[in-house]
Structure 1
């Protein structure tokens, strides 16, 4: 028995939901699909109403924008079954075996990460930063991800027991970005088994460069607020590990000052036609040293 849960923000989900239903029926499993529209008032919500015409599918409309973390919590609480498959709305299934690859893990006490993939053809220049980051940092074989099982967790495609998700998901109602890092840390500290498999979704919804860059900085801020002082957080997060090392040798403030001087050059390298991910890494390290 499987509950497939999809938080949707201004994205048409009918093609994805239809594919999921078809695969679940072909796999002969008991299932449900729940979609929560977290974009009140937008026209795409009308297009997503078609979800209610499909068997075993439900659509919930948030009255205000609650954010992905809170919406996922609502999805989990609404689920009828004890195994949850979370998928982002802006994805495409790789083939007709996607659900079947997860079947052997249903009912197990493990969190299972399927992975991400990206189109071979690069997008327009204004989306190259997100595309290049995804191709180089997220699109990895399970064997590579398994080397650091808690450091490569992406919440757009994973299977989890319901109780494990609710116990380890961020509990506050704030609409924050980048809380995959917090979820990873909680799984690590609670010794939850994390399994990586080769079952990637195709990530289609790429933010433009400015939006993605802003989200990267929000993620840095939230890591500093939520994880820097947590024991052993540096074991699963490289940014926190580097920051703690700089603090240990009391050069974090010096790095913060240097960051303000080099920030324009770093941003120029990040936003060029072929974005520099090294420049993005240096920027994030300088930023975490600079912010309070």
Structure 2
């Protein structure tokens, strides 16, 4: 937004030969921010990179350009630092290292479910067929919905090993808050029939629990044990199993 203290520094981007800095008057949310950038872009290919990413590959742009043939979207992937010194950021780091950081060979086994936009190149023509849902103003799963629509349109998706490094690993407490935002979003999308439950693993589990009449008990479990789980997840040795239980039981506790 225009009130950010960083704007005076970011204005320097406008002095670069091919740079342009845009400050919106209001916060329209991540999805509409991306749509705005796509509208303002002058050329046929759009490269989306999250602001907290670090580019470590010397041939980063060349790698993307060499992968453009016969595809609509190219995803380069993401990696997390090999180690992290802060115990208060351990959950986000561990989840990133053990769950999110996948080489292209693994991502190509399910090209749509593995598609994210923290580091992705897409042809503008393909992007305009979908765009990000502007109703998703809070953090979470805007990429999932885009990828789902890409699967319906059968866009050609290619995964390559051209990762950015996640440079700003969230505090565990912040990551848990963002996780809740994302779960609220994905459940809302499911309830509105905007996404198939089979496309999102946690919604598939939620759907099965509902059919087995276990959703309400799982929600009660969250109500009873969420404090204990939170303590584990914000510790220096968080359990990803506990994190999975925390997520699905929180989802089941939502009255939507």
- TM-score over 0.5 (shorter chain): yes
Change in Cα spacing, 1:195 to 1:230, as seen in structure 2 (3 Å) is: farther
Partners of 1:43 and 1:232 lie apart in 2 by 38
1:279 aligns with 2:245: no
Select 1:50's aligned residue among 3, 7, 12.
Answer: 12
Partners of 1:284 and 1:160 lie apart in 2 by 31
Once the two structures are superposed, the pairs formed by residues 212-251 of structure 1 within 5 Å of their partners are: 212-228=175-191, 230=193, 233-251=196-214
Deviation string 1:110-141 (CA, Å, 9 cap, x unpaired) is 21110001112314122222211211122111
Contact 1:253 1:289 survives alignment (8 Å): yes
Contact 1:227 1:233 survives alignment (8 Å): yes
1:66 aligns with 2:28: yes
Q: What TM-score do you get using the length of structure 2 for normalisation?
A: 0.92
Contact 1:91 1:201 survives alignment (8 Å): yes
Deviation string 1:85-107 (CA, Å, 9 cap, x unpaired) is 11111111122110111113336
Partner of 1:82: 44
Change in Cα spacing, 1:120 to 1:203, as seen in structure 2 (3 Å) is: same
Partners of 2:131 and 2:207 lie apart in 1 by 25
List alignment gaps of at least 5 residues for structure 1.
1-38
Length, aligned pairs only:
254
List alignment gaps of at least 5 residues for structure 2.
none
Partner of 1:190: 153
- The structure whose RCO (Cα within 8 Å, separation 6+) is larger is 2
Q: What TM-score do you get using the length of structure 1 for normalisation?
A: 0.81
Partner of 1:160: 122
Matched residue SS, 2:46: strand
Contact 1:87 1:155 survives alignment (8 Å): yes
**After TM superposition, where is structure 1 displaced by more than 3 Å over at least 4 residues in a row?**
105-109, 228-232
Select the structure that is richer in strand: 1
| C-alpha displacement of 1:227 | 2.5
